[in-house]
Amino acid sequence: MRRPSIHDSGVLAVLASNAVAPLGIFFLGWSTTVLFGVFIAEIAVVLFWSMVKMPFAAKRPNNALGERGLFGPLQTKRGSTSLPGPLPPVYLRNVPSVVIAAFLLAPLELAVALGVFGLADPTITDETGGRILVGGLSVFIGHGIETAAHYFGNGEYRNHSPRSLLLLPFKQLFAVAILLFAAIPFEESPGSDAFVAVVVAGKFLYDLRTLQLEHDDDKRGIFYRLYGSEETEILPVPVSEPTGEPVHCDRTNRWVAVADALYRGVRYTFTSVVLLFYAIAAALALFGGDLVVVLIPITVAGVFAGVKAISRYLRYGTVEYRCYGDVLVVYDTLLDEPQARLERGAVTDLTITTDAVDRLFGTETMAFDTDEDDSPDVQLTVPDPAEINGDDANENHPLTYPHVENPEAVADAFGVAWRLTSESDERR
């Protein structure tokens, strides 16, 4: 007899957890309230285990990642941090996805699900509450076994990005809405056998279809076309670093990097939708609001500024620029991983600029331009997995080195000092 594999154990665990509600209905006499309560518990369970998986996802989303946005600088990070024990490494670039899921997506989905639960006019007693707890615990254990056996034990974390892990919660949210629509004809008798049969059958078919698609090599359903799947995500490749010692190393002064991060954080709150919180605070103060109430929106804006500052510092404050003659490498000393490279022959222009931080500390910002097109392709649907371009880690993208104390030394070591001279002549 064949011994069940780790992969089979994970699938069996999910099937067992999905069978909790039907078994409770047909053999334990669960009411409609218990049925819906267990469904809501399952949504919370899937969200929880999805967030547990996210830090370890090795792939990155196929959509373009840039410097703009609250988490943009952090999401471009390459490299991982090893953990003690059997757990795989965690990726710093996945932290923003966990934060967004925990503080935005999960509350939104649970609010919608609880709204649907409320429409069923549930009657919660000690007995029904205990049954919901037992059902929810069974679902939690089942998905926990699947996470340990399939995601970690079978190495499935190598095939996912944080975004692809959120596909199942998004589908669940859609399924809850469909379930509500299908139950409208039974609105007058939500506890009827016909209503229960529709709910149980629909949920069971949905679970079977989800498992089928998870093991299908050609995932081209509507969700996979609009959102994508693990097959359409990109596995990052290492940035190639020349052998030998660099001829010149340079990095932004730590205190300058801190000042830059704080400046960018505050500036972000005035150049994005976060500015609305300042307007709210001003309106509250104008109409005589309490000081504590006025400070609330300002505090929220401050949180956004802090997050942006941390993201900016981790993008530029922890890297050094290593010049190997004709190759310039951006190397992250915190993650011990090259982040980008630029070949001298690909440089088409060198621009020197100064911002408020540069003027304060007497530094300059160097911007190396290339012919590489960084504009993302806009498509209505996600391409087929075979059409997804691989990681462009070693392509010559434009590169910015902020707050350089001695740009002439960097340009000379990289062999582009003549462009720096031309830039100086133009500024005269």
pLDDT at 1: 39
**What tens digit of pLDDT does each residue of 336-359 get?**
999 999 999 999 999 999 999 999
Which carries the bigger pLDDT value, residue 232 or residue 375? 232
- Within a 13 Å sphere around the CA of 105, how many CA atoms are in the beta-carbon half? 24
pLDDT at 202: 65
Q: Two tokens at 80?
A: 């991982």
pLDDT class of 133 with cuts at 50, 70, 90 = confident
**Can you tell me the mean pLDDT for 266-270?**
94
pLDDT class of 216 with cuts at 50, 70, 90 = low
pLDDT at 157: 94
pLDDT at 182: 62
pLDDT at 227: 72
Q: Which residues contact 375 (CB under 8 A, 6 or more apart)?
A: none
pLDDT at 50: 93
**Can you tell me the mean pLDDT for 72-84?**
87
pLDDT value at 193 more than 90: no
pLDDT at 10: 44
Report the b/e string of 300-326 with b at 16+ CB within 10 A: bbbebbebbbbbbbbbbbbbebbbbee
Please give the distance of CA 52 from its chain centroid, rounded to a whole number.
Answer: 13
Residue 105 and residue 98: Cα distance in Å, rounded? 10
Report the b/e string of 266-276 with b at 16+ CB within 10 A: bbbbeeeebee
Please give the distance of CA 150 from its chain centroid, rounded to a whole number.
Answer: 21
**Can you tell me the mean pLDDT for 284-310?**
91
pLDDT at 108: 84
Q: What is the mean pLDDT of the chain?
A: 80
**Can you tell me the mean pLDDT for 388-392?**
75
Nearest one of 383, 378, 62, 63 to 220, comparing CA atoms: 383
**What tens digit of pLDDT does each residue of 315-328 get?**
999 999 999 989 99
Which carries the bigger pLDDT value, residue 109 or residue 311? 311
Residues 362, 261 contacting (CB under 8 angstroms): no
pLDDT class of 125 with cuts at 50, 70, 90 = confident
Q: Which residues contact 30 (CB under 8 A, 6 or more apart)?
A: 21, 24, 38, 131, 135
| Distance separating the N- and C-terminal Cα atoms of the chain | 83
Residues 298, 277 contacting (CB under 8 angstroms): yes
Which carries the bigger pLDDT value, residue 311 or residue 126? 311
pLDDT value at 20 more than 90: no
Residue 331 and residue 334: Cα distance in Å, rounded? 9
Please give the distance of CA 418 from its chain centroid, rounded to a whole number.
Answer: 42
Nearest one of 250, 221, 86, 105 to 163, comparing CA atoms: 105
The β-bridge partners of 60 are 234
Residue 107 and residue 105: Cα distance in Å, rounded? 6
Q: What percent of the chain has pLDDT over 70?
A: 72
Which of 62-71, 266-275, 354-363, 392-401 has the least mean pLDDT?
62-71
**Can you tell me the mean pLDDT for 151-166?**
90
Amino acid (1-letter code) at residue 91: Y
Residues 298, 281 contacting (CB under 8 angstroms): yes
**Can you tell me the mean pLDDT for 78-93?**
90
pLDDT class of 427 with cuts at 50, 70, 90 = very low
pLDDT at 42: 84
pLDDT at 428: 41
pLDDT at 105: 84
pLDDT value at 401 more than 50: yes
Residue with tokens 């510092």: 313
pLDDT at 64: 56
Residue 376 and residue 65: Cα distance in Å, rounded? 9
**Can you tell me the mean pLDDT for 250-255?**
94
